[in-house]
Amino acid sequence: MEKSVVKRENWGSKIGFIMAAAGSAVGLGNIWRFPYLLGENGGAAFLLIYLVFVVFIGISIMIAEFAVGRKSNRAAVGAFKSQSGGWTFAGVIGVLSAFFIMGFYPVVGGWSMSYIVKSFTGLLGNPEAIGGTFGAFITGSTQPLIWMLAFLVLNVLIVAKGIAGGIEKAAKLLMPVLFGLLVLIAFRSLTLTGAAAGLSYMFKPDFSAVTGQTWLAALGQAFFSLSLGMGCMITYGSYLNKKEDLVSNAVLVTGMDVGVALLAGLAMFPAIFAMGMEPDVGPGLVFVVIPSVFAAMGSIGTLLSIIFFIALTVAALTSSVSLMEVAVAYFIDEKGVERKKAVYGVSSAMGVLCVLSSLSLGAMAGFTIPGLGVGFFDLFDYITDKIFLSIGGLLLAIFVGWFLDKEELRQELTNGGTIQFGLFEAWHALIKYVIPVAIAIVAVAGIASIEQTGLMVFGLLIIVVLAVFSKKL
């Protein structure tokens, strides 16, 4: 099929785009990842650093991604290629990041789906066994794969229907549901006796707990949560019409994302402290501690557990469809493949990675990839979170700040001068000078923090190979 035959899709409405972009940003990063990172990194101090990164780096990068996508009218790879063929590899890194994240994301999404059913069928009946239940479940060889497949199929059904008919329609339904469910749980959490200790933990900073790892985790969370550096916002921006206010949309999407993260924290930490539990338990916070908290609430706990895991599944789904769309859009834009064929091909490849990720926690738990020292789940997580996303964001900032025409950017962000962007000069200075340095420092620290030398070399080698061969993609 010739590329010219494939008609470019567009969002059906502004609210649809906002909900879809916010849905891309809002995901497991907000409800699963953010709370446990907050717990591991001292609470309020981490939150404050995270918010600084979001305001000064996250919003700026999102504005840049929207501008690059809409200006080129192409997704991640095509957007860079249309401006300079030598920068194609920066777009390829974004596509590969999204692809690898989808190598483990549906696994966790499947866990969340399964916990909706488990909440119905007696998960909270024996609080002492909740931790063991989670461990036994994720190390299984059958159930996790079934739930992963179910979650992946939901993605396929939505993305195959296209932008307006699939992703936008799903987001307009799912995002209000997500907000409503989190508000309900947060309200109940805040009314518990002893909830004030959880609020103090979240909002009263203790900077003695801050380390270099705190800064690294905060920037990584900002990128992961806002779907930056992985091509999602470039791709979504490419479907925007020329009348949309990119700056206000970026601020609104970022605000919604941060709002959900804070709501998730308010839903969890007041209840955790009220029940006398520890917040620094890592990734098991959502699947072990939170069900234990609900179990201690009596009969209403089962209902809240069901609501919570529905919300978590919704958040995971709105993000994962954007990740799948990044890879699908590459084949549509660059290879002229029809949407449904692209969806089926991409999802099949992602499914293979997900099977490997899931089994690496179970039947293949004792297996580590030769020379890398980790299993498949950790491989996909580490190279995206610690290498690809930060390098992708760094390259985007350099590309926009140093290689795109400044006046063309001004025209794009002001819609030809018809709207105001009074902070354009400050934004451009941030993108050109400050953000590349800040990301580079944290990226180097992140890469250096990888204990497995082989894994670090492997991730960087992929970057080099992409830079050399990307013109052929």
Q: What is the 3-state secondary structure (H, E, C) of 89-134?
A: HHHHHHHHHHHHHCCCHHHHHHHHHHHHHHHHCCHHHCHHHHHHHH
Q: In the chain, what are the domain boundaries?
A: 11-472
Q: Please give the pLDDT value at position 68.
A: 94
Largest CA-CA distance found in the chain, in angstroms, rounded: 64
Amino acid of residue 146: I
Q: Which DSSP helix (H) or strand (E) runs through 47?
A: helix 44-53
pLDDT at 2 over 50: no
Residue corresponding to tokens 């999102």: 62
pLDDT of amino acid 24:
87
pLDDT over 80 (residue 185) = yes
- pLDDT tens, 151-167? 999 999 999 999 888 99
Specify whether the CB–CB gap between 237 and 63 falls below 8 A. Answer: no
- Pick 221 or 18 by higher pLDDT: 18
Helical ranges in 129-245 per DSSP H: 130-138, 143-160, 169-190, 195-203, 212-226, 232-237
What is the rounded CA–CA span in Å between residue 67 and residue 208? 39
Which letter, b or e, does each residue of 330-361 get, where b requires 16 or more Cβ atoms within 10 Å of its Cβ?
bbbbbeebebeebbeebbeebbebbbbbbbbb
Place of tokens 């599944």: 313
Q: Residue 5 pLDDT > 50, yes or no?
A: no
* Among the four given CATH numbers 3.30.530, 1.10.10, 1.10.150, 1.10.4160, the one describing domain 11-472: 1.10.4160
How confident is the model at residue 3, as a pLDDT? 44
What mean pLDDT is predicted for residues 303-318? 90
Whether pLDDT at 7 is above 90: no
Q: Give yes or no for residue 116 having a pLDDT over 80.
A: yes
Q: What is the mean pLDDT of residues 145-155?
A: 98
pLDDT at residue 219, as a whole number: 79
∠ Cα 186 233 393 (to 5°)? 100
How far, CA to CA in Å, does 263 sit from each of 124, 178, 289?
A: 23, 10, 17
pLDDT band for 147, please (50, 70, 90 cuts): very high
Q: What pTM did the predictor assign? A: 0.90
pLDDT reported for residue 136 = 93
> Tens of pLDDT along 312-347?
899 889 999 999 999 999 999 999 999 999 999 999
Of 190-199, 421-430, 448-457, minimum mean pLDDT range: 448-457
Report how far residue 237's alpha carbon sits from residue 75's, in angstroms, rounded to the nearest whole number.
8
Decide if pLDDT at 64 tops 90: yes
The span from the CA of 143 to the CA of 121, in Å, is 15
